[in-house]
Structure 1
Amino acid sequence: MNEVKSFLASKTIWGAVVAVAPTVLGLLGLNVTGADAAEVAQHGNAIITAAGGLLVVYGRVKATKAIR
């Protein structure tokens, strides 16, 4: 139960990075608007959809047992 994981594997760390990113970007002079966030979300959705489709194909090709 004393497993150690990489700093980058921590969901807590990634959540904190996402939470503070707009503030840090603002301090650096980059303003993130709602439209920017919506555009990123659209691209993220497209990437996730494509990855899901590829995973379906990969899973079916690598499968060794039939589905009942």
Structure 2
Amino acid sequence: MDDMKAWYQSKTVWGALIAVGSSLLQIKGIELSADMQADLANIAVTLAGVAGGLLAISGRLRAATGIRGK
């Protein structure tokens, strides 16, 4: 595995979290279809990517040192 990504960019991780959440909801009498779970996983990965990008931009803007081109 040469390609690495953050845990929040993994559809597998989000799918597992949503599956656990779905199981907990089922205990309360609320059921999510497999399609809805897949859609939620895709949305979560997209939102996590957006949040990561915004965090990186925010960190760069607040950094104490600048960056230099060539």
Alignment of 1:23-62 (within 5 A): 23-62=23-62
Change (3 A) 1:28 1:48: same
TM-score (norm 1): 0.55
Which structure carries more relative contact order (alpha carbon 8 Å, separation 6+)? 2
TM-score (norm 2): 0.54
Change (3 A) 1:57 1:30: same
The alpha-carbon deviation at position 31 of structure 1 amounts to 1.7
Percent identity over the alignment?
30
What is the match of residue 22 of structure 2? 22
- Structure 1 distance, partners of 2:64, 2:30, is 50
The alpha-carbon deviation at position 54 of structure 1 amounts to 0.3
Change (3 A) 1:56 1:24: closer
Change (3 A) 1:56 1:21: closer
Gaps of 5+ in 2: 1-17
- Structure 2 distance, partners of 1:51, 1:21, is 21
Name the larger-Rg structure. 1
